[in-house]
Structure formats: C-alpha cells, structure tokens
Structure 1
Amino acid sequence: MNGMKSEPLDLFVVGGGINGAGIACDAAGRALTVGLCEMNDFASATSSKASKLIHGGLRYLETYEFRLVREALQEREVLLAKAPHLSWPMRFVLPHEPHLRPRWMLRLGLFLYDHLDWRMTLPKSIAVDLPSSKFGAGLKPGFKKGFVYSDGWVDDARLVISNLKSAREMGAKIYARHRCVSARRSEDGKLWNIELAGPGGVPIQLQARGLVNAAGPWVKRFLDEETQIKTPKRVRLVKGSHIVVPRLYEGDHAFILQNSDNRIVFVIPYEREFSLIGTTDIAVEEGEHPVCSPEEVTYLCDLVSHYMEKPVRPEDVVWTFSGVRPLFDDGDDNPSKVTRDYHLEVDGTPRTRAPILSVFGGKITTYRRLAEHALRDLQPYFPRMGGPWTDSRAVYDGEMADAPTFEQAFDNFVDGAAASKPALPKELVRILARRHGSGLEDMLENVKTVADLGRHFGGSLYEVEVRHLIRDEWAVDAEDILWRRTKEGLHMSPGEREAFALWLEEQRPNFT
C-alpha cells in the first residue's frame, strides 16, 4: 500500500468524462493542486457515446429551457474557437412535415435559436426549396420545403483527452483506471481521506481539501456508497443508442428528422465514409453495459428510411454504440422531456468542513461553463484560487493561427503541416491533424516518409500514432485506440482489428 503522507491536494476529481476533465483543467489553471481518477478508460462511458453535437438544443425550446439553450449557443461559439481541430460548424436540414409541426412554429423556434445569442457568427437559418437546393441531397423527392440552420460537431472522446492533457501540463495528477473505493472526511472534517484501487487492485491513499463527484451515471451511487453522504437529489438514467451505416448521401450537411412520437433523430456525416444516426431515448435502471437493442436499430432504420432516398436496413449497420445519459431528475415521466440542464450540489462548510461538489446532468456543449460554475461554487473554500480563464484559451493542441473562420484556421494548419511533410499523403496529414492538432509536429518529428510511420494496421492507423497514444494519452487496450482515441476501427476489417489487438498484446511488455 502507498501509505506515504504527502501534502494534501486542493481538489480531487472522481470521474474522467467531459465534466470531470473540464473541472480538473479549469481548477489546475487557477493554481489549485489537482488530482483526478477514472475507474475505466477516459471518456469510456457517456462522454464518447453521444451524438457528438455542439448545439443549443433546438428541441429544448419546446420545453421552455431558454437559459440552457442560450448558454449552450454561447458555448458553441467558444468551443469552436477553442478546438478548431476537434470541432467544426455544420449546417442542419429540417424537412418540413406539416402534420408534425406547423411552419410558423418552426420559423419561430429558429428565429429564437438564431437570436438567443446575439453574438452568433455562424450563418443564420433559412427556408429552402429542397428539390432545387444542395441541402435536399439525400432526401426523397416528395419533401419539398424545409429549413436550414447552424450548429456544430465535436470529437467528444478526444475533447476529454485534450482537457486532461491540459490539466496534466499544469501539474494535475491523472490516475487512469483507478477506482475511488472510499472517500471519507477526516476526524476534524477539514480533509478528505481518499483511497483508490489501481490496476491489479493496488491501493493508493491520498488526501484533498475538496472533492468533486463527476461520476456521471454513478454520481448518486458514489455519494451513497463511497462517501456515505445522503442526498434527496436523483438522476434519471436514459439510454441513447446510435447506429453507423455507409454514407447515405453526398454533402457536408446533416439532417434533423422529426418522428410522430415527437422525438427527433439526426443523420450526420461521419468519419469520411459513413453516416451516424441517432439517438433513442429509453429509461433504464442501470448504466453499466448499455447496448443498442434490435428494436432500437429497427426504430432508427425505419425513421430514416421514411425520409431518405436510400433506405436503411438493419443489415446495413456497421457499428452501434449506446450511452447512458445521467439526467437530473426533475420529475417528468417522459424521458425525452427530462431536463438536459445540469445541477451542482455542494456539501460542506467553509473553513470547518471540507466540501464535496456533485455534478448532476450536463451536456458536452456546456462542459466548460459547468466547470466555471463548479469552481465558482467552490471559491469560498479556496479564496486564493485564480479567476476564470478557459473562455479565451485553446484546448491542448488546439493552438492555431487566427483566420477569418474556424474552418480556415484548420485548413491553413493542414496546408502548413502537409508542406513540412511533402512525402506524406495530404489526406493522411489532414486525418492525423484532426486528431492531434498542433501536437502533430511532435508526433511526426522523426517521420519523413510513409515508411517512417511504422507498421500499418489498416485504415489510417500506423505504429507511430499508436505508440504516441499509449505513451502520452493513457491508451491501453485495442478498444481505447480503435474506438475512442481514433475511430479507425470503422475503416478496418474484422481481421485487421483482430491482428492489431494481437500485436498490441505482444508489444505490451515494451510499453511498460
């Protein structure tokens, strides 16, 4: 057992999803000493299983969540600027179905969506004649009228890693695959005594002046079991499933499709050759191992086939993923209407009782603002902490030269990176730049030709990148690399994925 008593940390964060990573990053940048643990791989639960949209949530206007939508719209612009390699603007096409929502209602909703953030720089919404517009590409010819509006997309799992790397660079101690098995206040109540169980069950003991419970679907369980603090607050666990199919249409636009059950489903260009379709909303009791059921696959296929010129069948599905969203329980019986807003709860007393802040709910678009709110709520316990800083600082590896648009900043970076590596295919440089941003230069420091990239595993995955992901980004298993740090598993055959997993296992002794 690691029984050494070192100086207590200021703040220890439990949970390595986007909210925990964002809070750790923000706190480290305010000169607090920070630790964070995650019981599995980072972003392995909800934070890599969503629709990957940076959006205000157009449909949340129907439930009058104007504050949430406005905050999310403001954060959309901030995130696009902070992570130009991981995120980009996208146009969304909403075909009009008169029997579902009247045109006046859609026009009003889109007007509000365009103006709740008066500083919005993305193109505003427009009405379109679908048969004569490029935005009709992919739809059945029977759909005549529609609307087009702006939102954004983000690589969610890599955004988590970028925040963790930022926190680590600023001195945070990051514990991958370490479960917090106990957290109790000391006898005088001023510190948290924390015990972690690392790989192989090896225990680590730490102390911290404050604790953050960002355990996502397990937030209440962590309070009840690991800290034995009781709260009347609850989370509603709602499973959302997605399917991935070969690309359904040409063009960079996405679709937002209405269904007769009042739900909406997105069809999003994904990973160069595919379309991402989702999501469902199903109330569940536990969030351990969610899977996409055959019924969910059929539901998504049937809805998309109603709209799209190319029908989608269950046998077309090449990948599915499911995540459990830990929504703050506001008492609504309809899973689709439960608030997507977040709730922060602090238990503690300044100067006499060490705080624990618990995060209920939240969405990836507002993770940065959630972190600011969390640090604001903890400020009375840490009066010497620095002020807010994350709104104007790029995420780790997101530093790129200014350009008129978010897309141009990234394109200019790719042009420069490709020019410095003329023997590498420019498309490969672009793919790697999407994942690694300005960190691409260090990763490819000794690479001049494709041969220097090492073994090719399939898709756009090479040995140089794999070793970087293991050395610098806490990756351990094939799943970490193929489906979270990259999505190259989609571009590889089953045989290639199996061969990669075997190679990784053989190489493991060389990585430790």
Structure 2
Amino acid sequence: MPATPALKRSELTPDSRREHLARLRAATADAPLDVLVVGGGVNGAGAAFDAATRGLGVGLVEARDWASGTSSRSSKLMHGGLRYLQMLDFKLVAEALRERDLLIERTAPHLVKPIKFVFPFFKKVIDRGFIGSGVLLYDAMQSVGRKRAVPFHRHLLHAKMLEVFPALDGDKAVGALEYYDAQMDDARFVMMLVRSAAQHDAAVANYTTVIDYLHDGPRVIGARVRDEETGEEFDIHARETILAGGVWTQEQQELADADAGLEVLASKGIHVTVARDRIPAVPDTGIITQTEKSVLFIIPWDEYWVIGTTDTPWTEDVAHPAATSTDIDYVLEHANAILAQDLTLEDVIGVYTGLRPLLQPVKKAGGGASTKVSREHTVMEVEPGLSAIAGGKFTTYRVMAEDVVDFAIREDQPGRPSLTRTVPVIGAQGYAALVREKAEIAARYGFDEIRMDRLLFRYGTLLHDVLALIDEDPSLGTPLEHAPRYLRAEAVYAVRAEGARHLADVLQRRTRLDYETRDRGADAADEIAALVGPLLGWDAATTAREVETYRAFIDARLASEATSDDASAARAAASAPEVPARS
C-alpha cells in the first residue's frame, strides 16, 4: 500500500491559486496528472480528496465557486434517509447511517453534529405503529457491529411532545416520536474537502471552466480550460478524467462528444428561513413529517429555522434555479398545517433554491460502455479515459468518491485503496482537545458561548488560524456591523485561506448572509468588500462593481420570488449575474 504523501499547506489564498494554476498548466502530455476531476461540488471535492490521499497526482477544477451549485443549497443534513425504508432500500439506508456515524465520530466531528427530530403522529394507533416500527428499524441498523453515534429514539405522549416542541398544533398532533440524525453546513463542508485535497497535494482551482476535452483518438486525455479571472486558456493533461458535474453532467458529456452517458434530470427543492423565536422548541430539536409531494423539515439553524422542501421538475436553465411565490406558499402552507401559530410571508427572512440531480437509466451507444451501478449513484465510462458519476446523496459522498476513483484507476493504478475511512477532513485532528479549551478561549477573546460554539462548528481546529488574525489585528475580533453573528476576521479568512474570489463567495458560501439576514447580505456588502478588496487586489472601481453586482443579483432573486411559474422565475434570476463579468 502506498504511503500517504506529506501534508502541504492547505490555505487557498490568491497566491496559492496562481501556484495551483501553474501546476495544472504544467500537466502536459509528457507529464500528465493521474486524475483530473471536473466539478467542485461535494462529489468532485470528495473524489479529489480520495484520490489525493492515495498518493495520486490530482487536479480539480470548478467553473464557478466551490459548492456554488446543488452542494450549497441542500437541507444541510447528514442523514440515513429514513424515508428510504418505505421503499425497502435497506442497503442504502445502512450505508448512509455508517457514513453519517463515521463523520460524527472520526473524520469530521467539527463539521457534522447530531440533531434531534420530532416526528409527529396524527393518527394515534396507525402512525405510532407504522412510523414507530420504521424508526425502530432505523435505530437498529445503527447498532449492528458498532457503537452508536447518536442516542436511541423514544416515544413521546401528547404532553411530552408539547413540552419538547411546544410550537406543534396539539389539536392535530396526538403524539410523536423523537429520534436523531446529523446536521452540517453544506458549502463549508465542500470547501473543507477541497482544502483537504490541497493539503494532500492536489492542484485545485475555482473559476476555471472546462471548454473542451482533449482526445488522443477515442480516448480522453484531459481538458482545455479557461481561467475566468484572466481569460487565459490552457490544456491540462491527465491519464484519467472524472466528471462530477451534477445537473451539468449531460452538458459536459456533450462537450466531450461522448457516445454514451448518464442522463440526469433536475428536481427543484426550495427552503425558507424564519427567526428562531417564531417557532418555540427545545434547543437543537427539529420537526420532520411527510407531505403529499415531499418531506417537510423544520430544522434549527443557529438563530433561525430552515424550512423545506419542495420536489418539482426543473426544465429551465440549470444555472439559474429560482423559487417562485408558489413554492414559498407551498412550504409555509405545509409548515402551518402542523404548527399552532401560522407563519406568514413577513416571517420569511431568506429563501434558497437547489436542484437535485436525479439519475435516469443509463444511456448507451454501441453497447460497449462500462458501468458500475448502485441504487443511488452510478459510475460510468462515458468515453475511454472519461468516467462520470451522478446521483447519490450528500451523506454518502465518501462512498461515491471511493467508487469513482476505484473505477477510474482500475487499470492504470491498481493496488491503491481508498484511505478516507481513516483520514480526517481538515480541522478534525485535535478537535476534542480544542472543545475542552473553549471556555478559556472565549474568555480570552470576549466571546459568549453562542459565538464560541458557532466558531467551533465553522472551523474546527482551524479556528487557531482565525484567532491568529485577531491577535495580529484586534479590530478583526469585532462583529460585522450589519451581520453581527460573524466577526470581521471571518471575512478576511475567507480570502486568506478559503478560496473566496468574489464578494458573493463570502456572502453566500463562506458566510450564509444571503438567507440569514432580511437584506440577503446587501447591507453588509460594503463593509465586507472593504475588508477583502485589498487582499484580492481590487481598486476602488472593482470594489464598487463587486458591491453593485451583488446587490443587483439579490434584487433579481427577490424578483424571481415574486413570480408564479418557473419560466418567469428563471428569467428574473438570470437577469443579473452573481459575480461581475471579466473586464
């Protein structure tokens, strides 16, 4: 078994991006990468991390920002998929539960934490029997051959249910069941995976678009890319290329002139946020129930609730998913059906929209394509040298990464097994010791318990790097004026270490101000731009353009939320870009 390579610097700085691009540019036909991964969502980042820990030469490119698509717009849960038990998909649920527990206990305890859910009953005997037996099986599957990572479920009678979640409508809900799953910040999780890949010597670059695939006869030998920051185009050669394009999979397959491929359809899921005090409950306790079309989650998220979701076909441009007023009304209507006090549009702080990549039966031409299929994801050789992965769920990203890398290197690099069951995501090592020091750190920097817990969940042991910025410049230890839940140091760190290239990257994915404040981050834009602009080499005109572009983007989002159909919402959303066009 090959040794794990020595760890490198993981910071994704402006200078390191130039260095990573130079390394990608140096991957020539005579000195190719072992693996080039296309797509910087959770599947692509996971694949790059997996391949890099095996000691392979790895490149990862993403056309926009890390996790800017589906992987930043989820329900933010690492869960086993309780609803899959209804479909009798026991293997998938068991796999997801194993992966969830691995993240909690070993590989990402700083990014994934247990969360309690109440599943209300509306038919006393039927629901308690049916739902209770399902959750009993769900819990039993977590206890086979390993120590439990979360507590066992319990039944709640009517009075206890209202004690745990007093916001439930006690006239409708006759009792409940309480069980545990896990929660994470999806965009930060992906960014941490990218940094973990870089720490293991992968060359990674966001805002780097694949504009063509390189061929040697029928075989794909890499890709031609464009640096969206400069407009420069260059070739990256690789022995194997992995496509992790999510809802862009078919677009990329067509770009590669693939004769076979995966068919991926997009399904829209929206979420809204409301203030925490609008729905009284015991801390860290959410609600799950079924609707006629989807699952309804009411999830505690720091000072807010995240409520969703929908599940409707999206046939518009996948680059511009958008919520409609109909979507928002649907979510509120179904939340109000189980809550004692109705929520209104005035309660909605933010809205975000994602597209689930739903895998369809594999397309083949000529019958010669190799495939590896599971119930939830598929790996396929769409051309010699080009493997694609699609489907699956966030919780099983590690298994998917292992599968696609195994598949891609099966002939050229046999004998290099995956190591990611034991290699932690960056920020995990030493996390338990750091938690024991949290009172001391809080006292030293004047943080209250809420801020301290928030920082630990965002950074893990990388918090030391954020605190070092404050030690260097104490003014960075003060909260942002228009977003006081975040420190000024966090905006600076987003550029100095987390790969942020534009104002929107900081406001939407390094922080989550686009749905955590009523102004969607617009009021904090000037202050954050003033902090990050000098680090990114912006002049006054560039800084102003970044702020203006972001505010116009938010206005377009708000306009889309006032429409009633997907076509109108997509047009409104597409009317303003997220980041400025290259000048």
- Please name the residue that 1:40 is paired with: 64
Do structure 1's residue 453 and structure 2's residue 477 form an aligned pair? yes
Identity %: 29
Give the deviation of 1:48 after TM superposition.
0.8
Contact residue 184 and residue 193 of structure 1 kept, 8 A = yes
CA distance in 2, matches of 1:101, 1:181: 56
Q: Secondary structure of 2:470's partner? A: coil
- Please name the residue that 1:345 is paired with: 380
Contact residue 275 and residue 305 of structure 2 kept, 8 A = yes
Contact residue 246 and residue 390 of structure 2 kept, 8 A = yes
CA distance in 1, matches of 2:39, 2:533: 26
- Please name the residue that 1:258 is paired with: 290
With over 3 angstroms needed to count, the CA separation of the structure-2 counterparts of 1:375 and 1:308, relative to structure 1, is: same
Do structure 1's residue 323 and structure 2's residue 336 form an aligned pair? no
- Please name the residue that 1:405 is paired with: none
CA offsets, 1:357-403, max 9 Å, x none? Answer: 1111121100011111112212323325632211122211122355x
CA distance in 2, matches of 1:503, 1:14: 30
CA offsets, 1:116-155, max 9 Å, x none? Answer: 2313332122211132343232211222211111111111
Contact residue 459 and residue 491 of structure 1 kept, 8 A = no
CA offsets, 1:16-50, max 9 Å, x none? Answer: 00000000001000000111111111111100101
With over 3 angstroms needed to count, the CA separation of the structure-2 counterparts of 1:197 and 1:489, relative to structure 1, is: closer
Mapping of residues 124-143 of structure 1, within 5 Å: 124-133=152-161, 134-142=163-171, 143=173
Do structure 1's residue 246 and structure 2's residue 275 form an aligned pair? yes
With over 3 angstroms needed to count, the CA separation of the structure-2 counterparts of 1:323 and 1:464, relative to structure 1, is: same
Q: Secondary structure of 2:213's partner? A: strand
Q: Which moved more, 1:97-106 or 1:40-49?
A: 97-106
CA distance in 1, matches of 2:182, 2:479: 34
Do structure 1's residue 71 and structure 2's residue 106 form an aligned pair? no
Unaligned stretches of 5+ residues in structure 1: 332-338, 403-408
- Please name the residue that 2:460 is paired with: 437
Whichever residue aligns with residue 377 of structure 1, its letter is F
Q: Secondary structure of 1:459's partner? A: strand
Give the deviation of 1:67 after TM superposition.
1.5
- Please name the residue that 2:571 is paired with: none
Q: Which moved more, 1:134-143 or 1:192-201?
A: 192-201
Q: Secondary structure of 1:231's partner? A: coil
CA offsets, 1:287-339, max 9 Å, x none? Answer: 221111111111111111111122111221110000001111159xxxxxxx9
CA offsets, 1:56-100, max 9 Å, x none? Answer: 111111122222111101111011122222221111111112299
Whichever residue aligns with residue 76 of structure 1, its letter is R
Number of aligned residues? 490
- Please name the residue that 1:213 is paired with: 243
With over 3 angstroms needed to count, the CA separation of the structure-2 counterparts of 1:506 and 1:113, relative to structure 1, is: closer
Give the deviation of 1:111 after TM superposition.
2.0
The equivalent position to 1:477 in structure 2, one of 502, 520, 537, is: 502
CA offsets, 1:243-271, max 9 Å, x none? Answer: 11112123221101222x1532000111x
CA distance in 2, matches of 1:323, 1:266: 15
- Please name the residue that 1:336 is paired with: none
Whichever residue aligns with residue 364 of structure 1, its letter is F
- Please name the residue that 2:335 is paired with: 304
Q: Secondary structure of 1:481's partner? A: helix
With over 3 angstroms needed to count, the CA separation of the structure-2 counterparts of 1:195 and 1:500, relative to structure 1, is: closer
- Please name the residue that 2:564 is paired with: none
CA distance in 2, matches of 1:75, 1:495: 33
Whichever residue aligns with residue 465 of structure 2, its letter is D
Whichever residue aligns with residue 468 of structure 2, its letter is E
Whichever residue aligns with residue 263 of structure 2, its letter is R
Do structure 1's residue 157 and structure 2's residue 187 form an aligned pair? yes
Do structure 1's residue 223 and structure 2's residue 246 form an aligned pair? no
Contact residue 11 and residue 209 of structure 1 kept, 8 A = yes
- Please name the residue that 1:335 is paired with: none
The equivalent position to 1:289 in structure 2, one of 314, 317, 320, is: 320
The equivalent position to 2:109 in structure 1, one of 84, 88, 110, is: 84
Do structure 1's residue 360 and structure 2's residue 356 form an aligned pair? no
CA distance in 1, matches of 2:231, 2:46: 27
CA distance in 1, matches of 2:462, 2:26: 35
Unaligned stretches of 5+ residues in structure 2: 1-20, 363-373, 538-583
- Please name the residue that 2:86 is paired with: 62
CA distance in 1, matches of 2:200, 2:272: 38
Give the deviation of 1:426 after TM superposition.
4.5
Q: Which moved more, 1:171-180 or 1:142-151?
A: 142-151
CA distance in 2, matches of 1:496, 1:51: 20
Contact residue 424 and residue 450 of structure 1 kept, 8 A = no
Output the TM-score relative to the length of structure 2: 0.78
Q: Secondary structure of 1:318's partner? A: strand
Output the TM-score relative to the length of structure 1: 0.88
Q: Which moved more, 1:135-144 or 1:161-170?
A: 135-144
CA distance in 2, matches of 1:94, 1:239: 24
CA offsets, 1:146-184, max 9 Å, x none? Answer: 111111111111110111001111111111111101112
Contact residue 39 and residue 61 of structure 2 kept, 8 A = yes
The equivalent position to 2:438 in structure 1, one of 414, 420, 423, is: 414
Mapping of residues 392-431 of structure 1, within 5 Å: 392-402=422-432, 411-415=435-439, 417-418=441-442, 421-431=444-454
Give the deviation of 1:204 after TM superposition.
2.2
The equivalent position to 1:122 in structure 2, one of 150, 153, 158, is: 150
